Amino acid sequence: IKLTDVVVPGAVQWVLSSDEGRPLLTVLLQQGALGATSLLVRGSLERAAGQNVALPQVEILDVSRQEGTLVIQVDPAIDVRAENLQGCEPVLLSRTFGWLVEAQRASARLALAHRNQDYSGTLRLTRREPRVSCFTVTNIRLTSRSLEETAMLEFRIEEAGIREVSF
């Protein structure tokens, strides 16, 4: 996972290093934390459709209990399905809307909750087939000196995103 951002109330800075070949994230707080503390880690994992991806493992060091939620966001042209889940379960995406910003909600496809650090699973990525329909209105104006044509095309794209329209 390529880490892009870490958000913690009262955090001063964070640094990513390596410990025994595993990535280690260290977050420095302005004040000591007491009670429930939330930590929001954003990252990206580039994969192509048709590939399987293991769930990223997040292990908090030196804590007595760890629980969390993973939100999987994908391009509209890709569908994602969780398989072989161990120690985690799918939850309603609406449970994550309190901490996902509006732009992130649109691409969120799956939320998985875990109650401890012993969880695993696989994400199956498949390409979605778009359904594209188009409504057209054409107007042709003929004068003694010219032929003018105006066309309005209204596309409806469903089931998947597309990047290019040609006509």
pLDDT higher than 80, residue 126: yes
CA dihedral 45, 48, 50, 55 (to 10 degrees): 0
Phi, psi (deg, nearest 5) at residue 80:
-130, 140
What are 19's two structure tokens? Answer: 């410990």
More confident residue, 25 or 114: 114
- Structure-token match 């998947």, residue found: 160
Q: How sure is the predictor about 49, in pLDDT bands with cuts at 50, 70 and 90?
A: low
Residue 105's pLDDT is what? 87
Q: How sure is the predictor about 151, in pLDDT bands with cuts at 50, 70 and 90?
A: very high
Tell me what the mean pLDDT of segment 70-75 comes to. 87
Residue 85's pLDDT is what? 95
